[in-house]
Amino acid sequence: MGSIPTLEGVTSQIVPTSRLKMHVLAAGPEDGIPVLFIHGNGSSATFWEETMLALPEGFRGIAPDMRGYGDTEPLPVDATLGLGDMVEDVRSLVQALGLEKFHIVGHSMGGGIVMKYLIAYPEDLLSITLVDTMSPYGYSGSKDVGGTPCHEDGAPAGAASVNPDFVRLLKEKDRGTENPVSPRNVMRQFYFKPPFIPRREEELLSGMLSLRVGEDWYPGDFVPSSHWPGAAPGTRGIVNAFSRKYFDASGIADIQPKPPILWIRGADDLVVSNSAMWDIATLGALGFVPGWPGPQECPPQPMLDQIRAVLERYRANGGTYREVVIPDCGHTPFIEKPEEFNAVFHEFLTGRR
């Protein structure tokens, strides 16, 4: 039923919920233990197909497209909710499918949605797996381990920090390699560690190109700012929704109950790191964006340190977590290094049936 061809063994359906119509991929026995997979930005449920098919016996993988992605109804994203509308979309899907307890997995932006879901509905969850997750303090716009905002208006994060040529090529659904910032080149350079090219690159690229482009979706709107680079997050769209201005999931440290957390990431991830190449402060420090005000005002966001500090608080408050780093791997280890990823992931799942 979806617009992107699926692998054998993966089903595709539109599920009406109380909030919107969601496109959902699934694999495994219908009575299996549910594992809900939440994709990242610039992707779709398609990215999870091989991972769902490889699940241990007795588990059922379920992967929805988020609003503005894939074949789900493209309702607008209210940035001021800090991904909260997507959390409620997931909750409405859970209710529509009749799920009770389930495992949940989030990649990149999806990790932010999962953390917010954990805060809102911790009793639903058997476990949490965060894969190359964004920071609990959002993406860009904070300056220290505690997530202190660089500026009250949210600068320098948000929609204005996104390369406009990339946005244009996304909108044009460009599949070429001529432009350095074409979607295919961006995927090859940043989603995976070069020279890796996935076997299903065309389907994954289609998933990336399924992203709705515009002020209500990607990247969103922006407003003038007196701070570098001259713009701050507006109130609409996905990049604003996960900016520090609106996003804060550090409250996971204080929730009860505390399901166990697996944090697994690629050692050479360029998207989420302490000097992330999509963080405008990193680009400013490297001289790619003129006028950078320096490390006191806008240092590169210490994303890994922020994640680890919040998870340490989670542990100190009675929870458990494990950090696993997969060597020679970029932002998407479940695609780049499936054997290594699944060995860790499956052990984690089967120990928490």
- 226 in a domain, yes or no? yes
* CATH code, 273: 3.40.50.1820
Count Cβ atoms within 10 A of the Cβ of residue 200 and give its class: 0-12 exposed, 13-18 middle, 19 or more buried: middle
Q: What are phi and psi of 194, to 5 degrees?
A: -60, 145
- 66 in a domain, yes or no? yes
- 303 in a domain, yes or no? yes
**Model confidence at 201, in pLDDT bands (50, 70, 90)?**
very high
53 has a pLDDT exceeding 80: yes
104 has a pLDDT exceeding 80: yes
241 has a pLDDT exceeding 70: yes
**Is the pTM value of this prediction over 0.95?**
yes
- 248 in a domain, yes or no? yes
Q: Work out how many domains the chain is built from and give that number.
A: 1
Label the pairing between strands 218-219 and 213-214: parallel
3-state secondary structure (DSSP) of residue 113: helix
Q: What is the pLDDT of residue 1?
A: 73
What is the domain range of residue 197? 11-350
- 19 in a domain, yes or no? yes
Supply the mean pLDDT for the chain. Answer: 97
2 has a pLDDT exceeding 90: no
239 touches 82 (CB < 8 A): no
Spatial separation of the C-alpha atoms in residues 108 and 38, rounded to whole Å: 9
Q: For 307-335, how does the pLDDT look when each residue is reduced to its tens digit (9 = 90+)?
A: 999 999 999 999 999 999 999 999 999 99
Q: What is the pLDDT of residue 353?
A: 60
- 178 in a domain, yes or no? yes
Q: What is the pLDDT of residue 46?
A: 98
User: Which tops the pLDDT comparison, 273 or 353?
Assistant: 273
Sheet with 11-16: list strands edge to edge: 11-16, 21-27, 59-64, 33-38, 102-107, 125-131, 261-266, 321-326
Q: What is the pLDDT of residue 154?
A: 96
Q: How many Cα atoms sit within 13 Å of 269 on the Cβ side? A: 25
Q: Where are the beta strands (DSSP E) in 75-174?
A: 102-107, 125-131
- 55 in a domain, yes or no? yes
Please provide the size of the chain in residues.
353
22 touches 93 (CB < 8 A): yes
